[in-house]
Structure 1
Amino acid sequence: MSPTVLPNHQAAVLYGPKDLRVDDRTLWPPQHGQAQVAIVATGLCGSDLHYYLHGRNGDFALQAPLVLGHEAAGIVTAVGPGVKNLVPGQRVAVEAWCRYNLCKNLRFASSAKTFPHLDGTLQERMNHPAHVLHPLPDNVSFEEGALAEPLSVLLHASRRAALSPGQTVLVYGVGTIGLLACALAKSYGSSRVVAVDINQARLAFAKSHGFADDVFCLPATPRAKSPEDQLRKAKENADLLLEVFGEENGFDVVFECTGAEPCIQMAIHTAITGGRVMLIGMGTRSTSLPLSAAALREVDIQGSFRYANTYPDALDLLASRKLQNLDKLVTHHFDLSDTAHAFDLLTRGVDEQGDMVLKIMIGSGTPPSHR
């Protein structure tokens, strides 16, 4: 079926650090195995922000203009030859893969890891492989469908950590990923979920909206003079956390969602003997670790990279309403034309009224009746 002719559909294109332009682009018909999707909602995340601020995310640097965005949902507007599982008008969540997470030939929308880059979802319409477009349950909104992507990150991590009912869980960092880690742990039946951050406002949000049972704001400390000094301070802070939370033996599962070296170090000390530390945050490229402490207590340190085979479960979980107050995560909304302003707001962390910024959703002008 041929798509509606849109000779000039718009896309928010990053050309370099803080050089984001809304360009007109030609809309091509979907190829074999593809569907065309009108993007209704895209959530901005930390990796998008790194690209916006620095023109790179870790080792992945821009080599050409790139459309950011990979947390998205929309409406199928056309399907290419061979597509049998989707029809125009269908509401879908967009899984941003071309191939899966540990594949050598991985291509991920909005990532500069491969070249040519694969454009993301900050555009009015896009063609995408149909097999990674997932129908939205009737009671799941487009913005909730966009949250299926970060939720998938936590589902994948929870599977690797063998998260199970009755366990105690500690979460470092209460941005969107950390808050979703808390919510997911509660949905799994964890006996206690606590969170740590350096941002008191975010911790208050996590506690007041029921994401965490208890929270603690880490005190500011002078910059460590050496790696040994840093490891010593991490152990001292870890001991303080266990004392404050009344968990002398540590936590069964620790989700590290900051990527900050001190938190990674503390995570090892705050896990119970035989416990698991799940590394989710992507930040520090090289880290000094207290490996002897991990080895002597058989603390497993596990990495988790994005997700695989999680979207159906993520959407089912969203439809079940077992995750409380997810609507509170989306604090701000912008049109596609205001994407640069949205990134600047995300950088500051608070808006002009002093209100906290968590998840920003970008809309592409789809009529409100479809939202």
Structure 2
Amino acid sequence: MAATRTKASVLHGARDLRLEERDLPALGPEDVQVAIKTTGLCGSDLHYFNHYRNGDILVREPLTLGHESAGVITAVGSAVSTLQVGDHVALEVGQPCEQCELCLGGRYNICRQMKFRSSAKAFPHAQGTLQERIIHPSNWCHKLPSSVSLELGALVEPLSVALHASDRARLSSGSTVLVFGAGTVGLLCAAISKAVTQSKVVIADIQEERVRFAVENGFADAAVVVPMKRPETVEAKLEFAKEVAELVKSTEYGDSHERVGEVDATYECTGVEACLQASIFATAPGGRIMIIGMGNPVQTLPISAAALREVDLVGVFRYANTYPRVIELLASQNPRLPDFGKLITQRFSGMESIPSAFDMAARVRDNEGNLVLKVMVNM
């Protein structure tokens, strides 16, 4: 019998998480009840936790965070025929209207009526997955094969961001790709580029340990450590961006002594102005820059350097029509895929550990000196 109450982690203010019980919505004929088993913490969750806002999006009511999740079906609605109790599922937590021109055209990720669990953009807020159970539309639950663990199921969400970026990049096989940012999303963009478009990948970050991790674990082919500089004037910033671009171009792949040169596409995953500027200078004529990182909404860019070489700036927002393909990729045993399990660097068990998990997600290294990449909360 379906449960009617659930325990939830609820954010009431900056760093004010409380464990509470709430009523579950009624199980509709097209819905399923899911026991959440694992949730990865994301950068947007961390912004809400620390500031009770994400950029200019303010939290207006108590909010449960979490959206990178997988779980087990515990009840199904009367009209559900594709899922059954006991199935393991990855949760696609965006709920578009499914009726507008964008939804009908397959671009439901930018539906104007989108409600996305753990985001405060829509009101009332769609509550996230850091709770024992949720009621969710069955068509946004994706069954996992037995070869894909629940933890990998939780990674389907950020992997979908990477695959959607790859879709929009429209690269031919054997392209050269630059990734700015060696956090989870940057590492996954690198991995998808290697596996799907069979690209050569160079990854850049200010943290040497992260780019070294990427190369040593098969996420990228070459690494660039971006110098720690903070130029003040526009002119100095653009000179620094050119310096970083030249550093990328002169980097060599492993022991081959082959230089990277200009790249066919850049995945900008940091949101940092200097990285977007450097992306323009590093990308070849006719190339594309995938804008993935959410940074300062107002930035100074050398736009003529892009326009005169027809370098396209392409927005990437979440994903659409990616979950089945990501799950298929995870189950494929593709030899070009890295071990995604190595991305999960810290695990926390039980809902009482969620505040500690958020504290860990804000760190660069844990108490043992290990890199902090993806922090996972297992129920």
Short-chain TM bin: over 0.9
The alpha-carbon deviation at position 131 of structure 1 amounts to 0.6
Instruction: Give CA deviations for 1:141-199 in whole Å, capped at 9, x if unaligned.
Output: 00001111001001111111002311011110111111111111110243411100001
Quick one: which of 330, 339, 343 aligns to 1:329?
343
Deviates more, 1:237-246 or 1:102-111: 237-246
Give 3-state SS (helix, strand or coil) of 1:69's partner. Answer: coil
The alpha-carbon deviation at position 247 of structure 1 amounts to 4.6
2:298 match: 286
Equivalent residue letter for 2:56: D
Structure 2: gaps of 5 or more residues? 97-107, 253-257
Quick one: which of 129, 142, 160 aligns to 1:134?
142
Q: How far apart, CA to CA, are the structure 1 residues paired with 2:310 and 2:259?
A: 18
Equivalent residue letter for 2:372: V
Q: How far apart, CA to CA, are the structure 2 residues paired with 1:341 and 1:72?
A: 18
Instruction: Give CA deviations for 1:191-216 in whole Å, capped at 9, x if unaligned.
Output: 41110000111111111111111101
Q: How far apart, CA to CA, are the structure 1 residues paired with 2:251 and 2:195?
A: 25
Quick one: which of 181, 184, 189 aligns to 2:189?
181
Deviates more, 1:11-20 or 1:305-314: 11-20
Give 3-state SS (helix, strand or coil) of 2:251's partner. Answer: helix
Q: TM-score, normalised by structure 1?
A: 0.94
> Which residues of 2 match residues 126-205 of structure 1 at below 5 A?
126-205=134-213
Equivalent residue letter for 1:232: E
> Which residues of 2 match residues 1-40 of structure 1 at below 5 A?
2-3=1-2, 5=3, 7=5, 9-40=6-37
Instruction: Give CA deviations for 1:212-238 in whole Å, capped at 9, x if unaligned.
Output: 1110111111x2222232122212221
Q: How far apart, CA to CA, are the structure 1 residues paired with 2:243 and 2:189?
A: 25
Equivalent residue letter for 2:300: S
Give 3-state SS (helix, strand or coil) of 2:289's partner. Answer: strand
Deviates more, 1:231-240 or 1:123-132: 231-240
Q: How far apart, CA to CA, are the structure 2 residues paired with 1:65 and 1:31?
A: 24
Q: How far apart, CA to CA, are the structure 2 residues paired with 1:283 and 1:172?
A: 13
Instruction: Give CA deviations for 1:328-358 in whole Å, capped at 9, x if unaligned.
Output: 0001111221111011111122111121111
Equivalent residue letter for 2:353: D
Q: Is 1:115 equivalent to 2:130 in the alignment?
A: no
2:249 match: 242
Q: How far apart, CA to CA, are the structure 1 residues paired with 2:179 and 2:206?
A: 13
Equivalent residue letter for 1:167: S
2:57 match: 60
Q: Aligned-pair RMSD on alpha carbons?
A: 1.4
Deviates more, 1:117-126 or 1:330-339: 330-339
Q: TM-score, normalised by structure 2?
A: 0.92
Q: How far apart, CA to CA, are the structure 2 residues paired with 1:248 and 1:69?
A: 38
Instruction: Give CA deviations for 1:48-104 in whole Å, capped at 9, x if unaligned.
Output: 111111111122110001111111111000112322221111111100111131111
1:163/1:185 contact within 8 Å kept: no
1:351 match: 366
Deviates more, 1:189-198 or 1:126-135: 189-198
2:378 match: 363
Q: How far apart, CA to CA, are the structure 2 residues paired with 1:91 and 1:29?
A: 21
Equivalent residue letter for 1:294: A
Equivalent residue letter for 1:358: L
Quick one: which of 286, 294, 307 aligns to 2:319?
307
1:164/1:188 contact within 8 Å kept: no
Quick one: which of 82, 86, 99 aligns to 2:79?
82
Residues matched between the structures, number: 360
Q: How far apart, CA to CA, are the structure 2 residues paired with 1:115 and 1:210?
A: 42
Q: How far apart, CA to CA, are the structure 2 residues paired with 1:13 and 1:334?
A: 17
